Amino acid sequence: MNSPGFVSVVIEMARQTAVLLLQNRLLWVVAVAEVGCAVIAFLLGYRPPRHADGRLLYSMLAWWLLLSVLMPWVTMYFAVQAIHGDIEERTFQYLFLRPVRRSALLLGKWLAVALFGSVLTAIGAVILFLATLPHAELWVDGVQWSVLTAFVLAGVCGAVAYSAVGALFAAWTKRPLVWTAVFIVGMQYFIGNLPAKAGIRAITVADPVRRMVLDRVEPDRRLARWLWPSEREFDPEVIGQPVWNLVVITGVALALALRAYARSEYDARARE
Amino acid sequence: MSAPPAAAPALRFAGVSKWYGQVAALMDVSFAIGAQVVGLVGRNGAGKSTLMKLACGLLAPSQGEVEVVGVPAGTPEARARLGFCPDVERLYERCSGLQFVAWMLRLHGAGAAGAQDRAAEVLTELGLAADMERPIREYSKGMRQRVRLAQALAHRPAVVLLDEPMNGLDPVARHELAGQIARLARSGTAVLISSHVLHELETMVDRVVLVHQGRLLAEGRVAELRGQVRGQPHRVQLGSERPRELAAQLVGWPQVQGLELAASSVQVAVNGEPGFYGRLTGLGASADGLVHEVTPLDDSLASVFGYLIG
């Protein structure tokens, strides 16, 4: 047998990880949660907030339920499961014995998680949107599919970045779920919601994802306030380059994760 | 990949030391093995697993060199020539044995169909033909051990490392594993097999390496070492569904010094006279459930080491 090439190992590892993730019972919980969000959207459609149209109602729910809660927790949990699960259960030994580079193994796992997070987020965004459609009175100017596109795109980019951060915690730390919780609550909920003048928010995932959404939905003042409560006078100038910010966060997190994964002696007694 | 080239030893440790922080796990260990079966024996914590993980490249030596067929350990070339059966209970629980072994083969560069065929072939050789498509979570300890062994052998390595492969196996499974190891030896594969019980290795290895507190204590042919430790008592725990019946059978065996009965096991003090494990295998094979597990107790080497280190 010849040693497989780097790319084919990445693809094979992504395939194997995807099969394992598909067997994860959490998928059912995610499905129920996404349907639950859609039910909330459908019911709120009967008694929407004052002067709220379909765009505002959908954006509010998609941002605060899907992109702020479901996407980060689910994507990072899957990343931790896929990478740290092997380390915790010591099954990583079977992988590290193969004549392949560890970086290819990690990239494959990350790719599978990023894909999963993206697909789950996109499905969530779509069914949430569909749940608002029966309330035709909310869409007086017609259904704005561009709002759905904005959230799907932002969700996919966000899932890719969150999976990279999850991979970093999984490869680098002994308690990645604790770090995940600290990251989501501290960085995404607290720092990510600071006003635009707080530059530190740019190192979160939540902030560029929100700027991506705002860039595409062309919000009025009310919608901007719903999505970014701390920014009293939303100025389109603050949008900046959210995609680039996400690329940098993803790249840095992945580079650090690869370094940790390639060098760590996960079996050393000192770690235990 | 089959037998290692004659010029290079299958596995070579040269002045290897390994520290975990301030703790020395291995100190200046040097030995080499060729195409033979070598036992690596030492108490729990002696450094056996560390030695094996250094050979696999899972750990890097703090000092010294480890080579697999003349190639530095841990490189992809070395890993391609090496199979390791770790002492890890968990596998991918929801996968089937066949799927797991095929996945590992895919990472050796096998094509999808080739990996599936070879995985089925090696699992059949190991006696899992009927169960290879069942999820691993339904497997017994012995079946899991066969899957672990299969992933180590499937890519036809030149060197095979087995870390405590006898742990938790019943006498019949032990006998089958010994047969597998003998077949590997006949095919020219170098095998390093670790255990904390010298007795369970002595029928299957050509040579033994004894490690103690991270140092190489003794090395040589089994017969030489056996002569030194003959008569040393040790204890084993026999798992049984009918411990009273088992104890009744064991009473009167010349090798049995004492018996201790528990709810689902019998602890046996063995006096070191030969023949105990042969008779036990016969007993396990003749009555279903009478002996389903043999666990050597941790202190079973205490007297041996006490003797060797004075």
| A26 and chain B in contact, CB less than 8 A | no
- Position with higher pLDDT, B52 vs A268: B52
Give me chain B's average pLDDT, please. 85
- Interchain proximity A100–B56, CB inside 8 Å: no
Digit-coded pLDDT (tens) for A68-124: 999 999 999 999 999 999 999 999 999 999 999 999 999 999 999 999 999 999 999
From A268's Cα to the closest Cα of chain B, the distance in A is 7
CB B109 within 8 A of CB A1: yes
Who among A2, A98, A101 is closest to B104 (CB)? A98
- Number of inter-chain CB pairs under 8 A, A vs B: 85
Query: How far is Cα of residue B147 from the mean position of the Cα atoms in its chain?
Result: 14
SS (H, E, C) chain B: CCCCCCCCCCEEEEEEEEEECCEEEEEEEEEEECCCEEEEECCCCCCHHHHHHHHHCCCCCCEEEEEECCEECCCHHHHHCEEEECCCCCCCCCCEHHHHHHHHHHCCCCCHHHHHHHHHHHHHHCCCCCCCCCEHHHCCHHHHHHHHHHHHHCCCCCEEEECCCCCCCCHHHHHHHHHHHHHHHHCCCEEEEEECCHHHHCCCCCEEEEEECCEEEEEEEHHHHHHHHCCCCEEEEEECCCHHHHHHHHCCCCCEEEEEECCCEEEEEECCCCCHHHHHHHHHHHCCCCCCEEEECHHHHHHHHHHHHC
> For B18, phi and psi rounded to 5 degrees?
-140, 125
| A230 and chain B in contact, CB less than 8 A | no
Q: Tell me: pLDDT of B230 over 80.
A: no
Q: Which of A98, A266, A272 to mutate to test the interface with B (most CBs of B within 10 A)?
A: A98
Give me chain A's average pLDDT, please. 91
Angle at A137 between CA A133 and CA A140, to 5 degrees: 95
Who among A12, A96, A266 is closest to B106 (CB)? A12
| A11 and chain B in contact, CB less than 8 A | no
So what's the pLDDT on residue B306? 53
So what's the pLDDT on residue B225? 66
Digit-coded pLDDT (tens) for B250-285: 988 998 988 998 888 999 988 877 788 788 888 877
So what's the pLDDT on residue A95? 96
Confidence of residue B104 (pLDDT cuts 50, 70, 90): very high
Confidence of residue B2 (pLDDT cuts 50, 70, 90): very low
Q: Tell me: pLDDT of A132 over 70.
A: yes
Which residues make Cβ contacts (< 8 Å) with residue A4, sequence separation at least 6? A12, A99, A100, B106, B107, B108, B109
Residue position matching structure tokens 């067929």: B69
DSSP chain A: -PPPPHHHHHHHHHHHHHHHHHT-THHHHHHHHHHHHHHHHHHHTTSPSTT--HHHHHHHHIIIIIIIIIHHHHHHHHHHHHHHHHHHTTTHHHHHTSSS-HHHHHHHHHHHHHHHHHHHHHHHHHHHHHHHTT-GGG-TT---HHHHHHHHHHHHHHHHHHHHHHHHHHHH-S-HHHHHHHIIIIIIIIGGGS-TT-GGGGGSSHHHHHHHHHHHH---HHHHHHH-TT-SS--GGGG--HHHHHHHHHHHHHHHHHHHHHH--TT-GGG-
Digit-coded pLDDT (tens) for A189-226: 888 788 877 888 878 999 999 999 998 888 888 888 88
Average pLDDT over residues A62-67: 94
A chain contacts of residue B83, beta-carbon cutoff 8 Å: 97
Nearest CA among A72, A29, A20, A255 for reference residue A179: A72
| A12 and chain B in contact, CB less than 8 A | yes
| B111 and chain A in contact, CB less than 8 A | no
Digit-coded pLDDT (tens) for A135-155: 988 888 889 999 999 999 999
Q: Tell me: pLDDT of A251 over 70.
A: yes
- Closest residue in A to B101 (Cα) is A94
So what's the pLDDT on residue B310? 43
So what's the pLDDT on residue B296? 66
Rg (CA), chain B: 20
Digit-coded pLDDT (tens) for B16-25: 999 988 888 9
Q: Tell me: pLDDT of B246 over 80.
A: yes
So what's the pLDDT on residue A159? 97
Residue position matching structure tokens 């050979």: B55
Q: Residue A36: how many CB atoms within 10 A of its CB?
A: 12
Instruction: Say how far apart CA B202 and CA B304 lie, in whole Å.
Output: 14
Who among B23, B53, B76 is closest to A3 (CB)? B76
Instruction: Say how far apart CA B282 and CA B175 lie, in whole Å.
Output: 10
| B158 and chain A in contact, CB less than 8 A | no
Joined together, the tokens standing for residue A61 give: 């729910």
Percent of chain A whose predicted confidence (pLDDT) is above 90:
69
So what's the pLDDT on residue A191? 85
So what's the pLDDT on residue A268? 66
| B23 and chain A in contact, CB less than 8 A | yes
- Interchain proximity B59–A267, CB inside 8 Å: yes
Residue position matching structure tokens 């079996």: A267
ipTM: 0.88
From B112's Cα to the closest Cα of chain A, the distance in A is 10
Sign of the CA dihedral with A114 first, then A116, A117, and A120 last:
positive
